[in-house]
Structure 1
Amino acid sequence: MAVVDSGVKTSRELDQTPTWAVAGVCAIIILISLALEKGLHKVGTWFTVKQKKALFEALEKVKAELMILGFISLLLTFSQYYIAEICIPVKVANTFLPCPLKYPAKSKLPGGARRLFSLERRILAGGKGAACKNGKVPLITVEGLHQLHILIFFMAVLHVIYSATTMGLGRLKIRGWKQWEEETLSPDYEVSNDPSRFRLSHETSFVRAHTSYWTKIPIFFYMGCFFRQFAKSVSKSDYLTLRNGFINVHLAPGSKFNFQRYIKRSLEDDFKTIVGVTPFLWASFVFFLFLNIDGWLTLFWASLIPPIIILSVGTKLQAIITRMALDISERHAVVQGMPLVEGSDKYFWFGKPKLLLQLIHFALFQNAFQITYFLWIMYKFELTSCFHDNFGLRIAKVVFGIGILFLCSYITLPLYALVAQMGTQLKRSIFDEHTSKALENWRKAALKNEQNI
């Protein structure tokens, strides 16, 4: 009969691990990392060849965020045993728990069940645990830090997927406007929008679609704008009218300007902002982790923030278009040619069009965090864990979060890229890559000549 020696260690360090196992694992990890790096490099090269400067800069931002997450992971790996050696009183450790306490302090088990539980976790992690005295436990166990590693990995993967989905859906939406842009080159368009042609303002398709008796009542005005973002966020008359207003204000009237291509470049500039993770967003991530206390339903209330923001921004963008139509009908009873909208920052909250983009940025980050946190809990703690007390509610929240991603990427963000052009300031993306580069070189040369003088 074989005798099991209870003194044999159940875990091995590298000096007792086969070299083929160590070399094989390292080789696989290195190959995956090289494949990822080469893939991102290929995408960056393609952006450069296609002269997608904004997308290339957005890709560099994604790589920078992945590097930050990698540094965080390295710091956790290096310092995990030092952190695990920090001991705190059991009474303090039993506060601010995300789940109900499994082993109360009044347990009659010898040595305290909590200490036994922590010891088992450290053994499973294969590391050295903290030699805490009676009445104290580790600040965070090695196993707990390992779970944080998994959360960081999920954040890195979801950040790439989320960014690609956002940009892909936005470009898909704007691609549908290409047909309207091509129609502006046809003779029929020039005849129907002849500047010498006069007609009543309320007979134009743009004014007629956005004005009625009900739009003069504030509550119905905003209700209509709210539901319009779901039905048809941008109609053909909206696009052509805003295009006409932009060209007349910022360019020569009647210019052959590809407005759809300009909106696409503008969306790429906006995307470059959205993929970044600012210190404020990192602070919000830590803040919600801190407030994820059992019984508070913090993550549930936090999951309501993205839809409220996205729906509010979408309503505001529709309100701006409707307000422009109302201004046309109030200013002129008769219009010449196509209705001319008046672009101004006064239509935006606090006169700042960029504020809407910042709100979209925050909402997308919080929505991505909610989805990432759910997937991490499902992977590490299973579906029946205490994090999922109301499992149906959690599933509904994730489905709703995915819906918000599609709503924002396919409707709200392209709509912002279009309506933001109605502000006072002209975006640099109006110039193509060659013109922008020439202007930048001219600016540098002018500054150099000024310094020499």
Structure 2
Amino acid sequence: MAGGGEATADGFTPTWVVAVVYTVIVGVSYGVERLLHRAGERLKEKQKTALYEALQKIKEELMLLGFISLLLTVSEKRIVKICVSPGKKVPLISLKAIHDLHIFIFTLAIVHVIYCVLTVFIGKLKIRHWRYWRDSTAEADQIDPQGRGTYNLMTWLHCFWKQFCGSVNESDYVTLRREFMKANPMFNFHKYMIEALEVDFIYVFGISWYLWIFVVIFFLINVNGWYTYFWIAFIPLILLLAVGTKLEHVLMLLVRGVDASNADDHFWFRRPSFVLLLIHFILFQNSFEIAFFFWTWTAYSPHACVMGQFAYVIVRLVIGVFIQVLCSYNTLPLYSLLTQMGEYYCKEVFLKHQKEAEGGKGAETTASKA
């Protein structure tokens, strides 16, 4: 490898090529690290505690995926030597398969981070839309008290369709905001909701151990002829529609005054955290399958057997985009709004804004006396 540096047929690489590749890899890695560090400093300056914690989780996930990739690199020769049948010397896994697995881990990391960023960005767009709704422009819908508490089929169908069009209308939002601000009219509810969404975002981000189990199961059942890549896409879709319908039903009960004392009582098992767990699984599975698509596209071809028929791929991509937009723009913001009406509200964020509201109210009183 030393010397002037012409490549030979023996596989030796010129030293200048090694130096250039090393410089590029180190430069890109250092640049990404500095970018993440600078982003963290900006978030701390703006007192975005929740987003800063989310950024730290991004670093943790990237470090975990990097360690997995490093472990594969170090042990790939030993793994290849493991044989299924010693008499035939058939390797457990080929060297190319390990290389493809490296690419998949990298693709999963990139797609998952991008999806998470899109989730919080789209969710904030939804909540910013709510800020223009004022108390004077809408009144809550009222129904006959004798009709309250009905749980017929038409009610659930209405909740199902509402998640696609006008999930949280002006009347609904104004009603819940009034209820929340009874104790302190100076409370900045809109800013509070932005930070509440950021807190929920921390929990839906990341790759937990049970999500890795799903990845293993997916590879086990991704057998040629089963079209696993196609039908498994309906699992997050069905879960998302079920969660969205449930949240719309809870919203309807609260704004119409049906047992509105505690929103938590209307969730499954009286635990809103279970819904957040489902949202976490939905977002991860969606990003995982999109990552799987790009991986097979680059490692094999769009017509590879692992992907099934090409028409299935198109349907899967459409479902993936639909899930991402609906969950980010509707389901997660609605969950953040409803949980503030129960015992699982963001206490630390609430106390912070409560102090700000009390400070603003005191300053306004002093100014009026002067």
8 Å Cα contact 1:310-1:408 kept in structure 2: yes
For 1:30-429, what aligned pairs fall within 5 Å after superposition? 30-89=26-85, 135-180=88-133, 183-184=134-135, 189=136, 205-207=140-142, 216=150, 218-248=152-182, 252=183, 255-328=185-258, 341-428=260-347, 429=349
- Counterpart Cα distance in 1 of 2:263 and 2:114: 36
- Counterpart Cα distance in 1 of 2:270 and 2:180: 18
Q: Deviations over 1:215-257 (max 9, x none)?
A: 9461111110010011111111111101112233xxx2x5211
* Alignment counterpart, residue 27 of structure 1, candidates 14, 20, 23: 23
8 Å Cα contact 2:254-2:263 kept in structure 1: no
Question: In the superposition, relative to structure 1, how do residues 321 and 144 fare at CA in structure 2: closer, same or farther (>3 Å)?
Answer: same
- Counterpart Cα distance in 2 of 1:432 and 1:85: 59
- Alignment-mate amino acid for residue 261 of structure 2: E
- Counterpart Cα distance in 2 of 1:231 and 1:327: 22
Question: In the superposition, relative to structure 1, how do residues 19 and 212 fare at CA in structure 2: closer, same or farther (>3 Å)?
Answer: farther
- Alignment-mate amino acid for residue 58 of structure 1: A
- Alignment-mate amino acid for residue 395 of structure 1: I
Secondary structure (helix, strand or coil) at the match of 1:168 reads helix
- Counterpart Cα distance in 2 of 1:35 and 1:159: 20
- Counterpart Cα distance in 2 of 1:224 and 1:165: 29
Question: In the superposition, relative to structure 1, how do residues 246 and 383 fare at CA in structure 2: closer, same or farther (>3 Å)?
Answer: same
8 Å Cα contact 2:236-2:286 kept in structure 1: yes
Larger Rg: 1
- Alignment-mate amino acid for residue 140 of structure 1: I
8 Å Cα contact 1:246-1:343 kept in structure 2: no
Secondary structure (helix, strand or coil) at the match of 2:226 reads coil
Question: By how many angstroms is 1:434 displaced?
Answer: 10
- Counterpart Cα distance in 1 of 2:154 and 2:205: 35
8 Å Cα contact 1:367-1:405 kept in structure 2: yes
Secondary structure (helix, strand or coil) at the match of 2:90 reads strand
Question: By how many angstroms is 1:143 displaced?
Answer: 1.0
Equivalent position of 1:334 in the other structure? none
- Counterpart Cα distance in 1 of 2:198 and 2:283: 16
Q: TM-score, normalization: structure 2?
A: 0.88
Question: In the superposition, relative to structure 1, how do residues 312 and 139 fare at CA in structure 2: closer, same or farther (>3 Å)?
Answer: same
Structure 2: runs of 5 or more not aligned: 1-7, 357-370
- Counterpart Cα distance in 2 of 1:433 and 1:409: 25
Question: By how many angstroms is 1:277 displaced?
Answer: 1.4
8 Å Cα contact 1:229-1:318 kept in structure 2: yes
Question: In the superposition, relative to structure 1, how do residues 170 and 11 fare at CA in structure 2: closer, same or farther (>3 Å)?
Answer: farther
Equivalent position of 1:108 in the other structure? none
- Counterpart Cα distance in 1 of 2:353 and 2:109: 31
Question: In the superposition, relative to structure 1, how do residues 347 and 434 fare at CA in structure 2: closer, same or farther (>3 Å)?
Answer: closer
- Counterpart Cα distance in 2 of 1:166 and 1:20: 43
Question: By how many angstroms is 1:259 displaced?
Answer: 1.0
Question: By how many angstroms is 1:157 displaced?
Answer: 0.9
- Counterpart Cα distance in 1 of 2:222 and 2:344: 42
8 Å Cα contact 1:214-1:221 kept in structure 2: no
- Counterpart Cα distance in 1 of 2:189 and 2:195: 10
8 Å Cα contact 1:53-1:433 kept in structure 2: no
- Counterpart Cα distance in 2 of 1:215 and 1:11: 80
Identity score, percent: 41
Secondary structure (helix, strand or coil) at the match of 1:206 reads coil
Question: By how many angstroms is 1:150 displaced?
Answer: 0.4
- Counterpart Cα distance in 1 of 2:66 and 2:324: 26
8 Å Cα contact 1:214-1:220 kept in structure 2: no
- Counterpart Cα distance in 2 of 1:381 and 1:10: 28
Question: By how many angstroms is 1:370 displaced?
Answer: 0.8
- Counterpart Cα distance in 2 of 1:142 and 1:355: 41
Question: In the superposition, relative to structure 1, how do residues 217 and 11 fare at CA in structure 2: closer, same or farther (>3 Å)?
Answer: farther
Q: TM-score, normalization: structure 1?
A: 0.72
- Alignment-mate amino acid for residue 357 of structure 1: L
Q: Deviations over 1:182-210 (max 9, x none)?
A: x35xxxx4xx99xxxxxxxxxx54236x9
Secondary structure (helix, strand or coil) at the match of 2:132 reads helix
Question: In the superposition, relative to structure 1, how do residues 87 and 410 fare at CA in structure 2: closer, same or farther (>3 Å)?
Answer: same
